Amino acid sequence: MKIGRWVAAVTLAGALLAAPATQAADRPVRIVALGDSLTAGYGLAANEAFPVKLQRALAAKGLATDIANAGVSGDTTSGGLARLDWSVPDGTDAVILELGANDALRGLDPKVTRGALDAMLRQLGERHIPVLLCGMLAPRNMGAEYARAFDAIYPDLVKAYGAILYPFFLDGVATEPKLNQRDGLHPTAAGVDVIVAKILPAVERLLAKVTTDARKTQ
């Protein structure tokens, strides 16, 4: 992970692995990808967005999913919290939560970001919906204290709620010119392919958790 190069670019602009996930025989696993422009597919064709390509990659492995794209460009964690109930409808089996990049870019108080993510994880937990939390890193021009406070949010909340952590959503893509659009912040279609390939094992863990939790309720 090229963290140093990523933060510079931002400044400028196994327990469940033991068995692969299986879904109910009668329907695919219903996942909501709740995020910002990185999820929505800013600057890309609809079929090049992260949720679409992820669903396709899972299908290639024999895993049937229905992944809803609940990405909103420019959204913050507070915005995600405000729309959580209607973005994650009843019947959702799991959530991939990708929010926080815009909070960091705007220099929002990390306490606000933490509070919004905490509330979302708590509410989803109350609804018994497993979560894959996608981490983000703060721009270092905000100072070391800000970076420490922001970066710690994701691992801290995963420990508190038992969610699955993918440490850095843009791992392998950030600051790579050929994998980013001209703004240097949003991935190209090829960049999305890299994200999907890297996050796939974590998503398989999420699906395995859905299966395990469903068996416990039977």
Residue-wise pLDDT tens for the chain (218 aa)?
555 565 555 554 433 333 344 444 569 999 999 999 999 999 999 999 999 999 999 999 999 999 999 999 999 999 999 999 999 999 999 999 999 999 999 999 999 999 999 999 999 999 999 999 999 999 888 899 999 999 999 999 999 999 999 999 999 999 899 999 999 999 999 999 999 999 999 999 999 999 887 777 66
Cα(176)–Cα(158) distance, integer angstroms: 28
| From 36, 37, 75, 171, active-site residue | 37
- In this structure, what token pair is assigned to residue 52? 């679409």
| From 87, 109, 186, 213, active-site residue | 186
Residue 2: the pLDDT is 57
Residue 87: the pLDDT is 98
Residue 186 annotated as catalytic = yes
Residue 213 annotated as catalytic = no
Edge to edge, the sheet with strand 65-71 lists: 65-71, 29-35, 94-98, 131-134, 164-166
Using alpha carbons, select from 138, 161, 165, 164 the residue that is nearest to residue 149. 138
pTM (2 decimals)? 0.88
Using alpha carbons, select from 109, 107, 73, 21 the residue that is nearest to residue 186. 73
Residue 87 annotated as catalytic = no
- Walk me through the domains of the chain, giving residue ranges and CATH numbers: 3-12+27-212 (3.40.50.1110)
| From 103, 109, 183, 193, active-site residue | 183
